[in-house]
Amino acid sequence: MTGIALIIDTTPGLEQAVEKLNALGRNGFMAELLDGVGALVAGQTQERIASEKRAPDGSPWRAWAERTAERRHGGQSLLLQEGDLLTSIHHVVSGNEVRVGSNLVYAAIHQFGGRAGRNQAVEIPARPYLGLSDANRDEVRAAVEDFLAEVLQ
Protein backbone atom coordinates (compact mmCIF):
# COMPACT_ATOMS: atom_id res chain seq x y z
CA MET A 1 0.00 0.00 0.00
CA THR A 2 1.40 3.37 -0.94
CA GLY A 3 0.34 6.67 0.51
CA ILE A 4 -0.39 6.47 4.22
CA ALA A 5 -1.31 3.62 6.50
CA LEU A 6 -2.40 3.11 10.06
CA ILE A 7 -0.73 0.19 11.77
CA ILE A 8 -2.93 -1.34 14.43
CA ASP A 9 -0.67 -2.70 17.13
CA THR A 10 -2.07 -4.92 19.83
CA THR A 11 -4.58 -2.77 21.65
CA PRO A 12 -3.88 -2.53 25.38
CA GLY A 13 -5.88 -5.21 27.12
CA LEU A 14 -5.79 -7.62 24.19
CA GLU A 15 -2.26 -8.94 24.72
CA GLN A 16 -3.51 -11.97 26.69
CA ALA A 17 -6.00 -12.83 23.99
CA VAL A 18 -3.30 -12.75 21.33
CA GLU A 19 -1.04 -14.90 23.51
CA LYS A 20 -3.84 -17.47 23.87
CA LEU A 21 -4.31 -17.63 20.12
CA ASN A 22 -0.60 -18.07 19.56
CA ALA A 23 -0.41 -20.72 22.29
CA LEU A 24 -3.12 -22.68 20.50
CA GLY A 25 -0.81 -22.87 17.51
CA ARG A 26 -3.62 -21.73 15.25
CA ASN A 27 -1.91 -19.06 13.24
CA GLY A 28 -4.71 -19.24 10.68
CA PHE A 29 -7.02 -17.90 13.34
CA MET A 30 -4.76 -14.90 13.87
CA ALA A 31 -4.95 -14.03 10.16
CA GLU A 32 -8.74 -14.41 10.30
CA LEU A 33 -8.90 -12.19 13.39
CA LEU A 34 -6.70 -9.51 11.83
CA ASP A 35 -8.71 -9.60 8.62
CA GLY A 36 -11.89 -9.01 10.62
CA VAL A 37 -10.31 -6.19 12.63
CA GLY A 38 -8.96 -4.60 9.44
CA ALA A 39 -12.37 -4.72 7.77
CA LEU A 40 -13.97 -3.22 10.88
CA VAL A 41 -11.46 -0.35 11.12
CA ALA A 42 -11.69 0.32 7.38
CA GLY A 43 -15.47 0.60 7.78
CA GLN A 44 -15.08 2.92 10.77
CA THR A 45 -12.73 5.10 8.70
CA GLN A 46 -15.18 5.21 5.80
CA GLU A 47 -17.95 6.23 8.19
CA ARG A 48 -15.74 9.04 9.51
CA ILE A 49 -15.21 10.32 5.95
CA ALA A 50 -18.81 9.88 4.76
CA SER A 51 -20.75 11.07 7.80
CA GLU A 52 -18.90 12.02 10.97
CA LYS A 53 -16.53 14.67 9.56
CA ARG A 54 -14.46 14.52 12.75
CA ALA A 55 -10.96 13.41 13.65
CA PRO A 56 -10.62 10.24 15.71
CA ASP A 57 -10.10 12.43 18.80
CA GLY A 58 -13.56 13.94 18.22
CA SER A 59 -12.44 17.36 17.00
CA PRO A 60 -14.42 18.63 13.99
CA TRP A 61 -12.62 19.07 10.69
CA ARG A 62 -11.98 22.61 9.59
CA ALA A 63 -14.56 23.83 7.07
CA TRP A 64 -13.67 24.57 3.47
CA ALA A 65 -12.19 27.90 2.63
CA GLU A 66 -14.81 30.21 1.13
CA ARG A 67 -13.28 29.96 -2.37
CA THR A 68 -13.32 26.16 -2.19
CA ALA A 69 -16.91 26.05 -0.96
CA GLU A 70 -18.02 28.17 -3.93
CA ARG A 71 -16.65 25.56 -6.35
CA ARG A 72 -18.40 22.56 -4.73
CA HIS A 73 -21.81 21.16 -5.62
CA GLY A 74 -24.49 19.74 -3.35
CA GLY A 75 -23.24 16.14 -3.37
CA GLN A 76 -19.76 17.09 -2.20
CA SER A 77 -18.56 17.49 1.36
CA LEU A 78 -15.30 17.55 3.28
CA LEU A 79 -13.02 14.75 1.99
CA LEU A 80 -15.89 13.47 -0.13
CA GLN A 81 -15.94 15.00 -3.58
CA GLU A 82 -16.21 12.14 -6.05
CA GLY A 83 -15.75 9.37 -3.46
CA ASP A 84 -12.24 8.31 -4.46
CA LEU A 85 -10.72 8.66 -0.97
CA LEU A 86 -13.69 6.91 0.59
CA THR A 87 -13.51 3.91 -1.73
CA SER A 88 -9.71 3.73 -1.51
CA ILE A 89 -9.75 2.87 2.21
CA HIS A 90 -8.77 -0.76 2.58
CA HIS A 91 -6.88 -3.10 4.85
CA VAL A 92 -3.96 -5.47 4.36
CA VAL A 93 -2.97 -8.28 6.71
CA SER A 94 0.71 -9.10 6.86
CA GLY A 95 2.10 -11.44 9.50
CA ASN A 96 0.80 -10.33 12.87
CA GLU A 97 -0.33 -6.87 11.82
CA VAL A 98 -3.06 -5.23 9.85
CA ARG A 99 -2.69 -1.94 8.03
CA VAL A 100 -5.61 0.30 7.21
CA GLY A 101 -5.18 3.20 4.84
CA SER A 102 -5.35 4.55 1.35
CA ASN A 103 -3.10 4.15 -1.65
CA LEU A 104 -4.03 7.54 -3.12
CA VAL A 105 -1.17 9.97 -3.58
CA TYR A 106 -3.10 12.82 -1.98
CA ALA A 107 -4.34 10.83 1.03
CA ALA A 108 -1.47 11.95 3.25
CA ILE A 109 -2.06 15.66 2.77
CA HIS A 110 -5.64 15.28 3.97
CA GLN A 111 -4.50 13.35 7.04
CA PHE A 112 -1.61 15.63 7.99
CA GLY A 113 -2.24 18.90 6.13
CA GLY A 114 0.34 20.84 4.15
CA ARG A 115 0.91 22.89 1.05
CA ALA A 116 -0.14 21.78 -2.43
CA GLY A 117 -0.73 23.11 -5.92
CA ARG A 118 1.44 25.15 -8.16
CA ASN A 119 4.30 26.65 -6.20
CA GLN A 120 2.81 25.15 -3.04
CA ALA A 121 0.35 28.05 -3.01
CA VAL A 122 -2.60 26.25 -1.41
CA GLU A 123 -2.63 25.48 2.30
CA ILE A 124 -4.65 22.34 3.04
CA PRO A 125 -5.55 21.91 6.70
CA ALA A 126 -5.14 18.54 8.37
CA ARG A 127 -8.38 16.60 8.51
CA PRO A 128 -7.34 13.36 10.23
CA TYR A 129 -9.51 10.45 9.18
CA LEU A 130 -7.21 7.56 10.10
CA GLY A 131 -7.03 6.47 13.70
CA LEU A 132 -9.28 5.06 16.37
CA SER A 133 -11.71 6.96 18.53
CA ASP A 134 -12.52 5.61 21.98
CA ALA A 135 -15.77 4.21 20.56
CA ASN A 136 -13.81 2.60 17.69
CA ARG A 137 -11.45 0.95 20.21
CA ASP A 138 -14.40 -0.37 22.20
CA GLU A 139 -15.92 -1.80 19.02
CA VAL A 140 -12.64 -3.46 18.03
CA ARG A 141 -12.18 -4.86 21.54
CA ALA A 142 -15.72 -6.30 21.50
CA ALA A 143 -15.16 -7.84 18.06
CA VAL A 144 -11.92 -9.47 19.23
CA GLU A 145 -13.60 -10.78 22.39
CA ASP A 146 -16.47 -12.23 20.34
CA PHE A 147 -13.99 -13.86 17.96
CA LEU A 148 -12.01 -15.36 20.83
CA ALA A 149 -15.13 -16.65 22.55
CA GLU A 150 -16.09 -18.43 19.34
CA VAL A 151 -12.59 -19.85 18.72
CA LEU A 152 -12.08 -21.00 22.31
CA GLN A 153 -15.42 -22.83 22.56
Kindly report, residue by residue over 103-135, the tens digit of the pLDDT.
Answer: 998 899 999 999 988 889 889 899 999 999 999
Kindly report, residue by residue over 16-34, the tens digit of the pLDDT.
Answer: 766 666 666 555 778 888 8
> Residue 117: what residue type?
G
3-state secondary structure of 117: coil
Would you say residue 67 has pLDDT above 90? no
> Residue 142: what residue type?
A
CB 8 within 8 A of CB 41: yes
CB 115 within 8 A of CB 121: yes
Q: Which pTM does this prediction carry?
A: 0.80
Average confidence (pLDDT) over 74-99: 82
CB 88 within 8 A of CB 74: no
